[in-house]
Structure 1
């Protein structure tokens, strides 16, 4: 029987409070069986929980799967990692719905956000997803700028990022932040275990003393750029949202010299009878991404006036208050093209790794399988081995964010996003404003899929960020593959050079 005395000032549901105590006690006692019993109790919960209690429960589930992995290395499996990602992301997806303006709830929300963002970033880092891990370390630091674990772990993420970035100048910039984050974390202290300080110190000691003196200790000398106002506004918006195809845009400063899509494919070795076509394909992937990024900017920053192309068009008004405008169609287009870019990346990977998948069967989930299943099944010519390439592994884990009818997705909303994509491409979607009464339960229109404009804006920006992460990791994966598997030191290899496509040609 639950007593009420200890819950008077705690807004969380008593079921969640008691369950947290069970998780903590079981972990302290290193009792995996009791952790699993508590997980079963939580996953079978039928109570109606408020949003904050739901978010806290999902956080506890995610961290409990992580606790099991830390207590027993044999249980540190892919499935375990999937469950951590699923529940931590589910908790994060509830955050925007919480009443953060409520002075009673705000301290409890902040006390959840700090470990939630940090733990989620730690799991992303384990999956090789550097840029997204760094994003969530900084979200934790927005809650508490002096949280040493988030600072130090961000430093470690930057340290590893700098190693794999092919441009040495970029590497110097990233190492500068890695060094100072690690130093700051050590100075602040307050680590849960003494070995954490030792780990952070070891990373600092890995730097050569001359490199430390010349590149890491002095302040950064960042070139300053200027742009006309219209272009400046666009570049600042993209910098703020971390949308440039440039690892430097993952740094915690928004400098205009980082506002450039500089990342491309490395030099690649091909057989003499092969055409060097993949650089052209990556060109197209980048250009489509740049197009939808600017289209989203136009949409989000558009003036409130009616677009001239929307004037004098004959449409009917309905009682569910749908939105019809050039702005809304642009927003839909950004979502559709961003989603389609993921399958085009799969097309790239199929060709680069010579997987032998038929074109109609290629998508961002199918490339990781061993064969095409079903009535017309066939085995692939080659298979991907993400465990041998750090950034290929990151793409593998990103693929788990997408919906697949036969496989688990780490994104609780993956099926919803897939349904929206199919509806935008082939069916009927109505966008509505939350400023009007919501009548989307089918009483007016039972053919349409409904979505609020604010929700579409949020998920489209998230999808664009995911696409950016994929394009960066694709470039780095190819770079690593070329270094690891295509060494031809004893052979003379003729080279084919490409001219830079000049800005004035982009008419």
Structure 2
């Protein structure tokens, strides 16, 4: 551990001096360390400082800040922070004996926020504040992001809630105490927010809409589960856990469209988004049902089905198949997002060549980002691009930012094209089997892993849909600023009442 501490001091000093040459030398030294005898905490510490080194190099070389200018070091920074969290696993701060986990989580939140992934960043800052409720920098960074998030809300009460929460966090951080530069920035933002109204959270209570509370016990359980896992398509699920005041209200903003004399249907972006939402909420419910059914007696549809015992404690159950079908359905949402991106940004990519991974690039090798994206300052669109890196794994990829990317893709490919084996986690260890045995034809996972990966994928889909709508909101606000209102005419689009759905 002493060698790691020496390297850590060297990295910190080099970062302070913007000395990228020393940082590169330190990374070379770290590459020669034998990792086998290291404990999980030591491995996490090493990955944490590798991430710091890449962050320091990125800041020291002052590359042009576009989608590709600092991609390599950002990728490495995010990857090693995630590896560090993976090393620590379920260890608590008491077991680690330092605040290492919170520092890693905060840095990862900052890194993701810088590339437009503000939804995941807020969730990570929340994790930090659960362990350390008085961590001022996590408070301040979250507050700044929530202020920016509020810009994309179309409903006044949603904006008000985000602004109030931002102001509350800023005031708390300033009371706890932060360094001078951060204090000046936080004070200025708090003063700016205060110009919109009186945000004293002890006095002002912003009324929330009262949606249906659930007619049955199952519906109530389902809606609470959605809120607790932050799975509602609603901005407020990133700040509120009041399940009676949340619904899937996420929609595309008002959009300027060309007049189509013959086409009387809903404009294509709205129609595509309708389908994306319906597929998301349906897959979400099927996953909930599968989890609920998991510990119940055998479903009647599984009875009287002759099977042979493979002697490996494998599940043959309806709830497993529900999870597998939902997994495929969620995965398909991302490619359908690419169709909407292609249509809205008028990329004119042939449909047969479209995917969520390829839509951003001009070449088949996926190395040259489209010029209109490179010059764009649309932060949520950048977040959508970076989210695509969490999903797809190719054998020739050398820059991954998610350790789970390959697992997600392997599960998807084996469900669709080969076969996925789901085992009882008490009686079998699929993770160990994946390390020691081949898995080309079949891919073993535990029941717990399949549930966790399904929810992980669902959360990624929610984030992607939020980035999509906020990216279009950004573009439409630019159009409004640049357009001549004399030549635009309003068109009313009606919502479909629940009782009138076909």
TM-score, with length taken from structure 1: 0.88
- Counterpart CA distance in 2 for 1:44 and 1:468 is 40
The within-5 A match list for 1:134-145 is: 134-145=122-133
**For residues 114-129 of structure 1, what are the structure 2 equivalents within 5 Å?**
114-129=102-117
1:266 is aligned to 2:253: yes
Structure 2 residue 248 is matched with structure 1 residue 254? no
Q: Partners of 1:381 and 1:270 in 2: how far apart?
A: 23
Q: Distance in 1 between matches of 2:196 and 2:17?
A: 47
Mapped contact 1:403–1:415 kept (Cα < 8 A): yes
Gaps of 5+ in 1: 1-12
1:382, distance to aligned residue in structure 2 (A): 8.1
The answer to whether structure 1 residue 496 and structure 2 residue 499 are counterparts is no
Matches within 5 A, 1:10-49: 13-28=1-16, 30-48=18-36, 49=38
Is the CA contact 1:365–1:404 (under 8 Å) kept in the aligned structure 2?
A: no
Q: 1:81 aligns with which of 70, 74, 89?
A: 74
Structure 1 residue 318, shift from structure 2 partner: 0.8
Partners of 1:210 and 1:366 in 2: CA distance: 42
Give the Cα–Cα distance (whole angstroms) in 2 for the partners of residues 448 and 222 of structure 1.
Answer: 49
Match of 1:328 in 2: 320
Determine the C-alpha separation between the residues in 2 that align with 1:479 and 1:25.
Answer: 42
User: Which residue of 2 is the match for residue 447 of structure 1?
Assistant: 441
Offset at residue 345 of structure 1 (A): 0.3
What does residue 290 of structure 1 align with? Answer: 281
Q: Distance in 2 between matches of 1:246 and 1:386?
A: 29
Counterparts of residues 466-485 of structure 1 (less than 5 Å): 466-485=460-479
CA contact (8 A) 2:429 2:446 kept: no
For the residue of structure 2 that corresponds to 1:429, the secondary structure is strand
Shift of 1:460: 1.5
Q: Aligned residues, how many?
A: 484
C-alpha distance in 2, partners of 1:398/1:57?
25
Cα distance in 2 for partners of 1:121, 1:88 equals: 10
Per the alignment, residue 235 of structure 1 pairs with 223
In 2, are the aligned partners of 1:172 and 1:215 still within 8 Å (CA)? Answer: no
Relative distance call for 1:147 and 1:356 in structure 2 (3 A) is same
Backbone CA RMSD of aligned residues? 2.8
Q: Which residue of 1 aligns with 2:426?
A: 435
Q: Go from structure 1 to structure 2 and tell me whether the alpha carbon gap of 1:262 and 1:75 turns closer, same or farther (over 3 Å shift).
A: closer
| Counterparts of residues 188-203 of structure 1 (less than 5 Å) | 188-189=176-177, 191=178, 193-203=179-189
How far off is 1:75 after superposition? 8.2
Alpha carbons of structure 1 residues 480 and 108: separation in structure 2 relative to 1, 3 Å: same
Task: Give the 3 Å change call, closer, same or farther, for CA 205–443 of structure 1 in structure 2.
Answer: closer
2:232/2:247 contact within 8 Å kept = yes
**8 Å CA contact retained: 2:383, 2:467:** yes
- Aligned partners of 1:106, 1:173: CA distance in 2, in Å? 34
Q: Specify the alignment match of 2:358 in structure 1.
A: 366
Distance in 1 (alpha carbons) for counterparts of 2:309 and 2:119: 44
User: Would you say the 8 A contact 1:162–1:174 is kept in 2?
Assistant: yes
- Counterpart CA distance in 1 for 2:199 and 2:459 is 35
Summarize deviations over 1:393-417 as a string: whole Å, max 9, x none: 1111112223253653311332232
Question: Could you tell me whether the CA contact under 8 Å between 1:266 and 1:478 is conserved in 2?
Answer: yes
Query: In the aligned structure 1, how far is the partner of 2:317 from the partner of 2:328?
Result: 17
Per the alignment, residue 334 of structure 2 pairs with: 342
What is the CA–CA distance in structure 1 between the aligned matches of 2:35 and 2:329, rounded to whole Å?
A: 40
Structure 1 position 148 matched with structure 2 position 136: yes
Distance (whole Å) between structure 1 residues aligned to residue 382 and residue 249 of structure 2: 23
Aligned twin of 1:393: 382
CA deviation map 1:449-495 (0-9, x unaligned): 11112112112111110100000111111111122136432533344
Residue 94 (structure 1) aligned with residue 87 (structure 2): yes
